[in-house]
A and B are shown apart, each in its own frame.
Chain A
Amino acid sequence: MEINGETHSGEPRPGQCLRTYLREQGCFGVKKGCDSGDCGACTVHVDGRPVHSCVYPAFRAQGRSVTTIEGLAGDDGLHPVQQSFLDAQGFQCGFCTAGMIMTTAALTPEQREDLPRSLKGNLCRCTGYRAVTDAVRGGPESCAPACPAPGTGRAVGSSLGAPAGPAVVTGTARYTFDIDVPGVLHLKVLRSPHAHARIVAIDASAALAVPGVEAVFTHADVPDVLFSTAQHETESEDPYDTRILDDVVRFIGQRVAAVVASSEAAAEEGCRRLVVTYSLLAAVVDPSSAVTSPPIHGDKSESDGISRASSNVVGELHASIGDVSAGFSAADFVYGATFRTPRVQHASLETHGSVGWLDDDGRLVIRSSTQTPFLTRRLLARLYDLPTDRVRVMAGRVGGGFGGKQEMLTEDLVALAVLRLGRPVRWEYTRTEQFTGATTRHPFVVTATAGARRDGTLTALQLDVLVDTGAYGNHGRSVMFHGCHETLAVYRCANMRTDAMTVYTNTVPAGAFRGYGLGQVTFAVEQVLDEVARGIGMDPVTFRERNVVRPGDDLTAPGEHVDDLGIASYGLDQCLDRIRAAGLTQDDAPDGWLVGEGMAIAMIAAGPPGGHFADATIRTLPDGRYELSVGTAEFGNGSTTVHAQIAADELGTTPDRIVIRQSDTDVVAHDTGAFASTGVVVAGRAVLRAARSLKQSPETGVGRGHFDGTPRSVAFNAQWFRVAIDPDTGELRILRSVHSADAGTVMNPGQLRGQIEGGVAQALGATLSEHVDIDADGRVTTTTFRQYHLPTVADTPFTEVHFADTTDAIGPLGAKSMSESPFNPVSPALGNAIRDATGVRMTELPYTADRIWQALQD
């Protein structure tokens, strides 16, 4: 086989796909995304024709010429398509980019005219495709409204490209598994077929007899330590309800045993040969009956961080401000409804996984696809009773996170195997394991009720919330508390009440997901308020203007809250002005289609309560450059770009002279992690302080900065849609999408715009197509991208993005968080638009054509 002009004589294995063969030959730019021919991240050319190498038999490429991303550039530099992806910054995490580029490079002029069709075999989870299609069309032309000219003076405020850009477009950016680890063993797990069972016995003798199998680990082999897979600065924020391997399985898909072998084939065969005897226990799948069902964690108690283990309640909130009964009595119009959001998968294109080894000093090293290297190190040290300085955790470039990797799902077992065997071990989740054995967005049932007087005064707001955390409580309580806070706190309302509960069920655990509960509750609150506005005959924007918080207001919601949150800048009024202006536009719709408009707002705290820490260090290098060390991981969030911009401006240099080392527990003392939208406001603040420190004492050659994440400001977002619906088929088309955001000082307009577009697109996936389904036994039935439809180019409308002009008094250089928040107002805005078009209030996601059609019949 000829690969990029060089002959490779190694014989492929009989059932090997071309992708694996190419990676074994060192072509790490060829990515494993879906592993089933759907996402296109593995696209290569065979004899000049583009193919998905994960479903191409490797033996068939023998005698043929294969071109990968590594072979695309010529002697005279980047291929034009690579250059245009770089120019247009047509990527975020970059995991899909090599496949996008290889596909684009093979398009005919005719295919370029129809990108929705031509790119249907290329999934991007980050960008929302606008930057990608700009790149395919040759440059960032459509970037005009949001991006000032780059390179004029200060770096902050320019649309500087990501420092990793050249590596991303050439396939040389190194993700978790893009390194050669000689002698690495492969770990696979057997997963439970039962929703709730006690493991009576595991017979590993047949598994151990498989040639290549080195070890089998079961619950008998692990330390009996309780922890949570969720990672937070304060460990006790999550219940201690999980063991590395447990003798009770609580969902279909839970790990039962791990097999470590010299090949994936042997490890899989070992798993098939394990003989497990289970004693079945009663299982509960429906969260509404969880409280009255037999306890799932009956062996644990309040001291483990579970509110009422005997009733399957992880956490609950019952609190009031004022008197909602009086508030409803004072209203001229009251509306309430119950809203449901399903499980959603993060679907980062890089699956969970880690690889570990012992370094020359015998220290445990784990390279992982994680948002939280430092917290993972802390937990690994606790689980295996090691001093933290005997554990190093690092991340390469991470192929998408969205909250899913604020979790320790693989590192504990890899560490166990490395420590026991003394040899390198890797474990990479399959795409199906992402659905069955990782985490999902928490499914919520929210009954929201609101009342208002005809003059527009909101008199009462009430929430009744049921959160299904699945079999384990990772993030279960915090997501509930967070979800019930900013959604209400954004409104000035004298009478508010919240009754919320997070319960266990025998289903795949939920976890952190972009928005962290806000999106689910916003979905209910913003639709109920839309209905109330209709009821009192007021337009929805004016109704919001009457009732939203203003500068100087307290941010209050029922329940106790850390009091470091305030309005340190205010752009919600500007956001609402944009939404009002959007309604003055006109669009054509097909004859007979129903047309409607809808809007919603969202507020988000810039960082989590209770502390989020970052350290940064800057050193002068002899050649006039600076080395910036920071803990935060980079998965397309763009924090790294902003860190370089901040440092460059403070030190009076240019960003290309800032060399960044990151996401490695060896480079700084601590970093809570890249979650809760903190990359700019927390880690960025630490970088700013480090740079200022070096500037003040240049003779030392080093500057250090730290930030503890408090106090916190709030950011605002508003979304508006105009939709058309075909009443004959239920088809919905988005005619216009407008998003306005108050992120304080815009550090990098191009990047921020991309982040908002990506957030809107991901939310549209959750709104229009995505749902992880579970059958009556608790089994996940949507286990591939063919059953779980991610938005493609064809499904993703262009979204106009507008920034409010504000400067925050808290955030670094006046900046606030964004990242998660653009997601949150999208679903309710679309629900409101459907209501406007059809007269029907649809209360359950997603809004697929069959459900819309059905709603019109009912």
Chain B
Amino acid sequence: MDLHTVTEVISPAAPGSWRPGDAWLGGGTALFSEPRPDVRRLLDLPSAGWPSLRVHDDGAVEIAATCTIADLAERLARHGIVRQCCHAFLASFKIWNVATVGGNLCAALPAGPMISLTVALDATLLLLGPDGTQRVVPAADFVTGQGTTLLRDGELLRSIRLPGEALGSRTAYRRGSLHRHGRSAVLVIGRAEPAGGLSLTITAATHRPHVLRFPSSPSATDLAEALAVLSLADYVDDVHGRPLWRQHLTRHYAEQIRAELVE
């Protein structure tokens, strides 16, 4: 929709450009989808020309925050978990052509599938402060609640690093929604560590991502006990699913994943 209060576009924008009333603009599919009466300037990032995706010698993949979902889906199509997470978008393939990986992370919605993907693959995020300072944070810590992240005023998400080892590991994926291609209500990803052990990433069902790590193969009882740390209040209660159902599905899918990866 038209953002009527916007008076200027800064293109390309740089880390120091930000001032109050500014909004970082990735693809725009999230920013332009709701009224933003407090936004005065758009700081355009795609025009900075960051290479969208680079594969390093160690197999790690560096994804620019401005990489579109379409690019990601195409370039990393050989990884099943990447395809699955792209298809978890409520948005259609037309939105993929414009929406960015970084934008999905920064929107910090429970159902953000790029959050699911990056957390499940132990990604790290590079953040740039207004004065150029850099910090690297785990994707698992980035989203702190519904719509909130670690980003400080004027700080931007520059890139996402997926470690090669995680990308190559065996994963299992389960998604629950009230509707067949609807918004994710539960998204659970299991990853078998090469050295044994299992990590289980819970997103969409809960206000923020939760990762359960098991140093060795968990039993059904181990898993159930670990999941018990999440109380009903940790689960989202909105039109996309009731908390008790989300909790049940999380447990149900987690056990399916455990059985698939461990047994």
Instruction: Enumerate chain A interface residues (CB-CB to B < 8 A).
Output: 13-17, 20, 35-38, 40, 43, 49-52, 54-57, 59-60, 103, 106, 111, 116-122, 263-265, 268-269, 272, 430, 432, 728-730, 769, 771, 773, 781-782, 784, 786-789, 792, 794-795, 848-851, 853-854
Contact B242 A854 (CB under 8 A): yes
Which residues of chain B from 215 to 258 have any CB-CB distance to chain A below 8 Å in the complex? 238-239, 241-242, 244-246, 248-249, 252
Residue of A nearest to B25 (CB): A57
Does chain A have a CB within 8 A of B73? no
B179 and A795 contacting across the interface, CB-CB below 8 Å: yes
Q: Which chain B residues numbered 76 to 106 have a C-beta less than 8 Å away from chain A? A: 87, 90-95, 97-98
* Cα–Cα distance between A432 and B98 once the two chains are bound (Å): 24
Question: Which of B6, B90, B239 has the most chain A CB within a 10 Å cutoff?
Answer: B239
- Complex interface: chain B residues within 8 A of A269 (CB): 4-5
Whether the Cβ atoms of B252 and A122 lie closer than 8 Å is no
- Report the Cα distance A14→B29, complex, angstroms: 15
Known contacts: A789-B178, A854-B242. The answer to whether A37 contacts B2 by CB under 8 A is no
Residues on the A chain within 8 Å of B37, using CB: 268, 272
Contacts A120-B92, A264-B2 given; does A792 touch B179 at CB 8 Å: yes
Q: Is the CB of A849 within 8 A of B94?
A: no
21 inter-chain pairs at a CB distance below 8 angstroms, sorted by A residue, are A14-B7, A14-B9, A15-B2, A36-B33, A37-B32, A40-B92, A50-B97, A51-B95, A56-B32, A103-B94, A120-B90, A120-B92, A121-B94, A265-B4, A268-B37, A269-B5, A728-B252, A848-B241, A849-B241, A850-B242, A850-B246
Answer yes or no: B169 CB below 8 A from chain A CBs.
no
Known: A51-B98, A55-B30, A264-B4. 19 other contacts (CB 8 A): A14-B41, A17-B2, A37-B29, A43-B94, A51-B94, A52-B95, A54-B1, A55-B33, A59-B11, A59-B44, A106-B94, A117-B181, A121-B94, A430-B1, A794-B180, A795-B179, A849-B241, A850-B246, A853-B245
- The chain B residue sitting closest to A117, CB to CB, is B181
For A773, give its contact among B41, B91, B239 (CB under 8 Å): B239
Does B42 sit within 8 A of A, measured CB to CB?
Answer: yes
Bound complex: CA A111 to CA B93 (Å) = 10
B24 to chain A, nearest CB (A): 13
Bound CA span A111–B97, Å: 15
Please state if B2 and A854 are interface contacts (CB–CB under 8 Å): no
In the bound assembly, the distance between CA atoms of A37 and B44 in angstroms comes to: 19
**Is B131 an interface position by the 8 A CB rule?**
no
Q: Which residues from B are CB-within-8-Å of A728?
A: 252
**B166 interface residue (CB < 8 Å to A):** no
A56/B28 contact (C-beta < 8 A), A43-B94, A116-B180, A730-B245 known? yes
Asked whether any CB of chain A lies closer than 8 Å to the CB of B8, the reply is: yes
Question: Which one of A37, A272, A787 contacts B239 once the chains associate, using CB atoms below 8 Å?
Answer: A787
**What chain B residues lie within 8 Å of A51 (beta carbons)?**
94-95, 97-98
Determine whether the beta carbon of B4 is less than 8 Å from that of A49: no
Question: Which of A35, A788, A849, A854 has the largest count of B CB atoms less than 10 A from its CB?
Answer: A849
Chain B residues positioned under 8 Å from A784 (CB to CB): 34
**Counting CB contacts under 8 A, is B176 at the interface?**
yes
**Chain B hits for A263, CB < 8 A:** 4
Bound CA span A117–B84, Å: 13
B151 proximity list for chain A (CB < 8 A): none
What distance in Å separates the Cβ of B19 from its nearest Cβ neighbour in chain A? 16
A851 lies within 8 A of B242 (CB): yes
Residue from the set B29, B87, B176, B183 with the largest chain A CB neighbour count within 10 Å: B29
Are A55 and B98 interface neighbours, CB within 8 A? yes
What residues of chain B lie closer than 8 Å to A49, measured between beta carbons?
70, 97
Is B179 a contact of A794 with CB atoms below 8 Å?
yes
Q: A268 CA to B248 CA in the complex, in Å?
A: 45
Are B241 and A850 touching (Cβ within 8 A)?
yes
A787 to B109, CA, bound (A): 13
Taking a contact as CB atoms under 8 Å apart, the answer to whether B42 and A15 are in contact is yes
Chain A residue with the shortest CB-CB distance to B46: A60
Asked if B21 is at the interface (CB within 8 A of a chain A CB), the reply is no
- Among B39, B87, B92, max chain A CB count under 10 A is at B92
Alpha-carbon gap, A121 to B32, bound state (A): 16
Q: Which of A57, A730, A781, A795 contacts B32 (CB 8 A)?
A: A57
User: In the assembled complex, which residues on chain B have CB atoms less than 8 Å from the CB atom of A59?
Assistant: 9, 11, 44
Known A15-B42, A55-B33, A792-B181; contact A268-B93, beta-carbon cutoff 8 A: no
B3 A729 Cβ-Cβ under 8 A:
no
Query: For A103, what are the chain B residues with a Cβ–Cβ distance below 8 Å?
Result: 92, 94
| Bound form: Cα–Cα A60–B87 in Å | 26
Complex contacts, B87 vs chain A, CB 8 Å: 117
Tell me if B132 counts as interface (CB < 8 A to partner A): no
> How many angstroms between the C-alpha atoms of A270 and B230 in the bound complex?
47
Contact A15 B182 (CB under 8 A): no
Q: A730-B245, A854-B242 given as contacts; is B1 within 8 A of A35 (CB)?
A: yes
Shortest Cβ-Cβ A-B pairs, 8 listed: A121-B92, A15-B6, A15-B3, A265-B4, A850-B245, A36-B33, A55-B32, A794-B180
Whole-angstrom distance between the Cβ of B229 and the nearest chain A Cβ: 22
A54: chain B residues at CB < 8 Å are 1, 32
**Which among A55, A56, A272, A771 has the highest number of chain B CB atoms within 10 Å?**
A55
Q: Which residues of A contact B30 (CB under 8 A)?
A: 55
Q: For residue B32, give the distance in angstroms from its CB to the closest CB of chain A.
A: 4
**Residue of A at shortest CB range from B185?**
A850
Q: Is the CB of A15 within 8 A of B4?
A: yes
Which residues 142-201 of B sit at the A interface, judged by CB distance below 8 A?
A: 176, 178-183, 185
- Name the CB-closest residue of A to B29: A55
Q: How far is the CA of A854 from the CA of B246 in the complex (A)?
A: 11
Taking a contact as CB atoms closer than 8 A, the residue among A13, A111, A786 that contacts B90 in the complex is: A786
| Closest CB in chain A relative to B69 CB, distance in Å | 12
**What is the CA–CA distance of A728 and B2 in the complex, to the nearest angstrom?**
44
- Are B42 and A848 in touch, CB under 8 angstroms? no
Residues on the A chain within 8 Å of B46, using CB: 60
> In the complex, what distance in Å separates the CA atom of A248 from the CA atom of B145?
39
Q: Taking each of B2, B37, B94, B185, which has the highest tally of chain A beta carbons within 10 Å of its own beta carbon?
A: B94
Q: Is the CB of A116 within 8 A of B181?
A: yes
Contacts of A111 in B (CB 8 A): 93
Answer whether A854 and B245 are a contact pair too, CB < 8 Å, given A52-B95, A56-B98, A789-B182. Answer: yes
- Assembly CA distance A37 to B179 (angstroms): 18
Q: A17-B32, A59-B11, A117-B87 are in contact. Are A50 and B94 (CB under 8 A)?
A: yes
**A51 CB, min distance to chain B CBs, angstroms:** 5
A786 engages B183 (CB within 8 Å):
yes
**Complex Cα distance A35/B186, Å?**
27
Take A789-B178, A792-B179, A850-B178 as given contacts and tell me if A17 and B1 are in contact as well, using a CB distance cutoff of 8 Å: yes
Distance, CA A121 to CA B90, complexed state (A): 8
Most chain B C-beta atoms within 10 Å of own C-beta, residue among A60, A116, A119, A784: A60
Establish whether residues B32 and A729, one from each chain, have CB atoms under 8 Å apart when the complex forms.
no
Q: Which residue of B lies closest to A121 (CB)?
A: B92
Give Cα distance in the complex from A787 to B90, angstroms.
12
A430 and B4 CA atoms in complex are apart in Å by: 14
Chain A residues with CB below 8 A from B4, complex form? 15, 263-265, 268-269
Flag if B176 contacts A729 (CB, 8 Å): yes
